[in-house]
Structure 1
Amino acid sequence: MFGPQVPTMTVNDVADDTYLLDVREDDEWAAGHAPGAHHLPMMELPARIAEVPNDRDVAVICRSGGRSAQVVAYLMNNGWDQVRNVEGGMGHWAAAGRPVTTDSGAPGHVI
């Protein structure tokens, strides 16, 4: 769908110390997200790109992998090289049994 120029990783490849960038919308984030993830909605990325570290591994996640693939391509075009798309997004994350939480600390769900 996006070709080989967008490197990917599975949800099980996301290490605890990986910078996990969640590019979903506010309502999706509020319903549930990975613990420790950093929220930056895709449409805000151009204005907030400096918030994304370029000196460590960054995993980009959305609901299913489409928006995050676009963000990975955008970051790579802007000089990021340690960035990967999380295959299947939060849907695969939850299905794999990885934790999903809310800002209050309560269990979350993927919408």
Structure 2
Amino acid sequence: SSIGGTDSRIMHLEIPSRLEELPSQGDIVVYCRSGQRSDAVARFIVDSGLCNGMIYNLLGGINAWSDEVDPNVVKY
């Protein structure tokens, strides 16, 4: 499942080899199903030092987004 209007969809295990695809300027919101994997990815991006914007983890992930913001987003 995904949130409409997002720019990239990169699986968490692919982040180390695809960091150059992330914008170096601007903010990034990282999300997964429950927020646990995306938390690790957000920390990795911050530690990489390649992005100058804010890095956010969507707490509760896509399931929380579906519950609290848009019930049309399918949970998985």
Fold equivalence (TM over 0.5): yes
Supply the distance in 2 between the matched residues of 1:54 and 1:86 (Cα, whole angstroms): 20
User: Which protein shows a greater Rg?
Assistant: 1
- Say whether the 8 Å CA contact 1:42–1:71 is kept in structure 2: yes
2:52 corresponds to 1:87: no
Q: CA deviation at 1:97?
A: 3.2
Q: Name the residue aligned to 2:12.
A: 42
Percent identity between the aligned chains? 29
Q: CA deviation at 1:110?
A: 1.6
Q: CA deviation at 1:63?
A: 0.6
Q: CA deviation at 1:36?
A: 1.6
Higher strand share: 1
Aligned residue among 79, 92, 96 for 2:68: 96
Q: What is the alpha-carbon root mean square deviation over aligned residues?
A: 1.3
Supply the distance in 1 between the matched residues of 2:69 and 2:59 (Cα, whole angstroms): 15
Q: Name the residue aligned to 1:110.
A: 75
Q: Name the residue aligned to 1:67.
A: 37
Q: CA deviation at 1:54?
A: 2.1
TM-score, length basis structure 2: 0.85
Q: Which runs of 5+ in 1 are unaligned?
A: 1-31, 101-108
TM-score, length basis structure 1: 0.60
Higher helix share: 2
Q: Name the residue aligned to 2:2.
A: 33
Question: Secondary structure, in 3 states, of the residue corresponding to 1:72?
Answer: helix
